[in-house]
Structure 1
Amino acid sequence: MTGRRRLALFGVCLVVLLGVAWYAGSRPGSGGPPPSVTGSVRLGPDPGAAVADYLASLPATLPEPGVAVPALVQLHTAVTGDQAVALAGDAAILQVVWRVPIPRVQTALRFETLDAGVAVGTAVDVSRQRAQLAAQADASRRTGRPGAVAAAEQAALGNADCACVVAVVVRTDRAGLETITARAGVRGVQAAPAGAVLTDLALAPLLPEQTDRVDPLPDDGVVPPAPTG
């Protein structure tokens, strides 16, 4: 084999080796951060799950010390925006889950991401106003019971003191999540895997009325009339 042919063969082998190395390094689980996929990380119990089993599983989701991750903070009862801010403490609030509580009436979960660079109290209140606008839009295009429910939601969310927050998504480390978990009013905290971002999350929070199993709530209650005038 001539020197030129040996050089050409060496070049081909080098290209193949580099290609193999690139492929191995680009595969999931190769040591790099996991790929970000919208809705790929579910936070919240599976439908039909036993509530006690779900809550017992949550401590195992907490990250290693010093690692900050998004986490779903689920509450015993719905609270006001100000109360939600107090429960989060020093943790950054990324998203608020609004839901108007009406006995035995299914109402919408409204997921509102907070504006960046705005004082947290103001950002949470702006998210309430956006949830109200979403309810208003539903009320304007729906008829019958669904329209009446949306109108009742719109009216409730128009009150700054509406106790309508059932969960928040925060970002903090293990110590911060353990502090939140210990606060009165917090039912459970489920952390996302390290490296996850808000857009990765698919949220299905445990609702205050779900006490035994994660089943659909009844929808046979009386819808309060929306105020007039």
Structure 2
Amino acid sequence: MTGLSTRAWAWIAAAMAVVFLGAVWAAGSGPSAGAPAATGSVRLGPDPGQDVAGYLAGLPATLPAPGVSVPALVQFTRPLTPSEAAAAGSGTQTTTAVFRVPFDRVQTALRFEPVTGTGDPAAALGVARERAAHAAEADADRAARDGGGAATPEARAALARRAAVAAAEGRALADPGCACVVALVVTADRAGLEALAARPGVRGVQAAPPGTGAPELALSPLLPEQTTTASPPPDDGPVP
């Protein structure tokens, strides 16, 4: 390692910055960037660039036969507070919450947090929100550290923006009333999922095939602002 020249180290640092920025894009650009929560074989959510109306029209066909319980992705018309999301998902078992802070024309990360506990669903979602806030704060610290060692002004600027965005996400998610829940993963039978899909504020419910386990899911929810195609949101606005 000591035999590497200063120029070689600069190239290595630049390459590491490129890799990190690619990861940031995947985390923050939403489902249309093809970056689901996991690499499972069962995708829930639209494909990148998919027509939104066509995607939503096909969701009823994914529901299981009567009496069969399956995991399903519940997508909302607008971001909800944890209390609102708990009310929307009542009557089903919620296993995962998808958080995303809605900043105007700023790409923010989709944050997938498990929802555990058998008590108050709103409290369980509140705990998940707190974990999402801590994750955003950690992302901000990591981006700030990496930005200090970036090899080019462009990489430093990109990482500085990423750090600022993640820090702003952390502040927003720290608020118990943050309207930041864009989707839930629940487990229910056909009747439960049909009742859920009919509730105000629920945009669509996509069910996984019977027998699908949590590790097999690849989550890529439709964002509320995606109204025509599942394409990446813009990222040219000021950081709040």
Same fold (TM over 0.5): yes
1:172 counterpart (182, 188, 194): 188
Q: Residue type matched to 1:60 in 2?
A: A
- Unaligned regions of 5+ residues in structure 1, if any? 1-36, 225-229
Q: TM-score, normalised by structure 2?
A: 0.76
1:184-206 deviation digits (Å, cap 9, x = unpaired): 10000000000112221100000
The gaps in structure 2 that reach 5 residues or longer are: 1-37, 145-159
Aligned positions of 1:140-159 closer than 5 A: 140-143=141-144, 144-159=160-175
Match for residue 49 of structure 1?
Answer: 50
1:61 equivalent in alignment to 2:62: yes
Q: CA deviation at 1:121?
A: 2.1
Q: How many residues align?
A: 188
- CA distance in structure 2 between the partners assigned to 1:185 and 1:210 by the alignment: 15
Report the identity percentage: 59
Once the two structures are superposed, the pairs formed by residues 1-229 of structure 1 within 5 Å of their partners are 39-143=40-144, 144-224=160-240
SS at match of 2:230: coil
Q: Distance in 1 between matches of 2:235 and 2:70?
A: 35
TM-score (norm: length of structure 1): 0.80
The residue type equivalent to 1:199 in the other structure is P
Structure of higher CA gyration radius: 1
Instruction: Give the counterpart letter for 1:46 in structure 2.
Output: D
**Structure 1 residues 95-117: Cα deviation after superposition (integer angstroms, max 9, x where no partner):** 00000000000000000011244
Q: How many angstroms apart in 1 are the aligned matches of 2:91 and 2:131? A: 24
Cα RMSD (Å) = 1.3
Per-residue CA shift, 1:39-73, capped at 9, x if unaligned? 11100000011000000010000000010100000
